[in-house]
Structure 1
Amino acid sequence: MFIFYIKKNKFIIVIFLIATAQAFTSFFYFSNNSKVVNSPLKDNFQKIKKDSLIIKNNKENKKAKIKPKFYLIIDDVGYDEFMLEQFIKLNLEINYAIIPFLPKSTSLYKKLKNNNKAVIIHFPMQSKHRNAIEKFHINIKDKKEEIHKKIEKTFKMYPDVKIMNNHMGSLITSNKDLMRIILIKLKEIDRYFFDSVTIAGSVPEIIGKEIGVRVEKRDVFLDSKDTKEAVLNELEKAKNIARKHGIVKVIGHIWSKNTLKVLEKEGPSLNQEFEFDNLLNLYEETIR
């Protein structure tokens, strides 16, 4: 009976077997080749994923490597050439504040420029404490025109210098009217003011905000008390400010051997942790 059924339906069975064979052949072909087809897609996906991780890691590493900014100003340049040479030897980015119109001012200025050092003007201004002061200075009795002439004369002598800070000057920097005259003039000639903060009631930053002039100011004096221990303590204070806020502005003095010795010793570790920078960059950056 079974044999009779096969003979009777032989043609149908043959067709069924052929179709089944083709189906299995197609299945195995696509099964095997799908790996080949999908392989480039899989590789591309893995590459994109890997590149994304690299970009993310690079951003994180870049962020981790950003050092706090350390702006170091050395005041009172203009008298002592030997000490200036010692500071120049330091492997630190330093802004040298030079007192204008002293016998050695021009030669020391040229020495600094020849060594590619940043220079600002250390402008003598009258103090409240009747301290002795250089002949060329801004006096409380100066009229507006006199102040303008002194500023113009100074920057004509040092045309590539863009910043001035006050040498002493507590009587001037605490006077709103005089500081307004000074800052407006500096704005006219595209120059900047850095406040040494020689008195608690210093007003340059306040006046600067009123008239739309950027004024920066000192955070730390390294050597107000000129001992090695005091300089180290003030340096530590400066480091902590930089770590907390990402920036610190520090003043030391060219005559301080203690400041020199401390910076000589601490220089390598300071450079490792902080980025010492030209003060002008702080003023000219568009986004802080």
Structure 2
Amino acid sequence: MYYLKTTLIRLTLLFSIFHLGGLPVCAAEIALIIDDMGNTQRDEAAFSLPKEVTFSILPLTHLSQKFSKKAATQQREVMLHIPMESLAGKRLGPGALTADMSPESIRHTLAQALMSVPDAIGVNNHMGSKLTQLSLPMNVTMEFLIEHRLFFVDSRTTRYSKALKIAQQNGVLSAGRNVFLDNDNRPEKIDAQFQRLIRLAKKYGYAVGIAHPYPQTIEYLQKALLPAEQLDVELVTISELLQTQHLAGNQNLIEQQKSVELE
């Protein structure tokens, strides 16, 4: 599996570094996730982005499996974008997890959702400002992820989310979102958020950005995702970033995570 190969490569690199008694000189890393993939055929425009950009696909839509398979043919990483209950009571769509579900129902729903995105190697939450604050459903979710060898990215739709902490307690390879690129999808606002992502990566060594398949976002990223030597950061897959930071034991708390945007 690609995920396993990445792990072995990183382990080999880390061993070589320490065996030689030196530390690597690495560019700061950014990972980008495009959420909400699979709602409409229009989302297919995102397939023009570099293959390092990960797609997080909504479950149980008429495009879930198609997009999952197409991304896999591009050697692009795929995640399951699982809907979770929000405080605002927003419409969740199929495959959603809610606070009133039993542990058995949560596991069954996750299994059905995962079957509809068969190439997923990780999960992040769609909405979830209510559910990610609740210990029981988060523990059940993380137990499911560890059983299926899936990583987790907390989209951080609330500053009170317990999801990342519970993921770490359960041994799930995990990270939190640092920047939403397009809560405001005006080009100048997207650019401001992208520059913020780069600044955070340079300051802390890495940063995770989440965006959506809006036409404005895709057009911006097609131009903005320049070669690493021009960006002065390296665009990597989310699994590569997770492995790098896990092996390095990086526990930095990113400032962005203290001021989470609303859903």
**Aligned 8 A contact 1:126 1:169 in 2:** yes
The partner residue of 2:31 within 65, 71, 95 is 71
Structure 1: how far apart are the matches of 2:57 and 2:70? 12
Q: What residue in structure 1 maps to residue 218 of structure 2?
A: 260
Quick one: higher RCO (CA 8 Å, sep 6+), 1 or 2? 2
What does the per-residue CA deviation read over 1:33-80, in whole Å, with 9 as the maximum and x for residues that have no partner? xxxxxxxxxxxxxxxxxxxxxxxxxx9xx955x211110000000023
Cα 1:119–1:209 change in 2 (3 A) is: closer
**Aligned 8 A contact 1:92 1:276 in 2:** no
**Aligned 8 A contact 2:177 2:210 in 1:** yes
Alignment partner of 1:132: what SS? Answer: coil
Structure 2: how far apart are the matches of 1:282 and 1:99? 22
Q: CA deviation at 1:264?
A: 1.9
Does 2:104 align with 1:136?
Answer: no
**Aligned 8 A contact 1:92 1:267 in 2:** no
Cα 1:77–1:283 change in 2 (3 A) is: same
Task: Give the TM-score, by structure 1 length.
Answer: 0.72
Q: Mark the runs of 5 or more structure 2 residues left unpaired by the alignment.
A: 1-19, 249-263
Structure 1: how far apart are the matches of 2:148 and 2:32? 25
Q: Mark the runs of 5 or more structure 1 residues left unpaired by the alignment.
A: 1-58
Does 2:120 align with 1:161?
Answer: yes
Please, which moves more after superposition, 74-83 or 217-226? 74-83
Please, which moves more after superposition, 153-162 or 229-238? 153-162
Q: CA deviation at 1:208?
A: 2.6
Structure 1: how far apart are the matches of 2:118 and 2:216? 33
Task: Give the TM-score, by structure 2 length.
Answer: 0.79
Structure 2: how far apart are the matches of 1:135 and 1:220? 26
Q: CA deviation at 1:111?
A: 1.8
**Aligned 8 A contact 1:92 1:271 in 2:** no
Does 2:204 align with 1:245?
Answer: yes
Structure 2: how far apart are the matches of 1:133 and 1:160? 22
Identical positions, percent: 25
Matches within 5 A, 1:2-41: none
Letter in 2 for 1:108: F
Structure 2: how far apart are the matches of 1:135 and 1:89? 27
**Aligned 8 A contact 1:225 1:231 in 2:** yes
Q: What residue in structure 2 maps to residue 81 of structure 1?
A: 41
Structure 2: how far apart are the matches of 1:200 and 1:113? 33
The partner residue of 1:116 within 71, 75, 78 is 75
**Aligned 8 A contact 2:206 2:241 in 1:** no
**Aligned 8 A contact 2:51 2:76 in 1:** no
Aligned length: 225
**Aligned 8 A contact 1:208 1:215 in 2:** yes
Does 2:160 align with 1:191?
Answer: no
Q: CA deviation at 1:282?
A: 3.2
Q: What residue in structure 1 maps to residue 253 of structure 2?
A: none
Provide the alpha-carbon RMSD of the alignment: 2.1
What does the per-residue CA deviation read over 1:5-32, in whole Å, with 9 as the maximum and x for residues that have no partner? xxxxxxxxxxxxxxxxxxxxxxxxxxxx
Alignment partner of 1:265: what SS? Answer: helix
**Aligned 8 A contact 1:69 1:246 in 2:** yes
Alignment partner of 2:141: what SS? Answer: helix
If each structure's helix is expressed as a fraction of its own residues, which one has the higher value? 1
Letter in 2 for 1:266: A
Structure 1: how far apart are the matches of 2:101 and 2:158? 20
Cα 1:238–1:153 change in 2 (3 A) is: same
Structure 1: how far apart are the matches of 2:51 and 2:75? 12
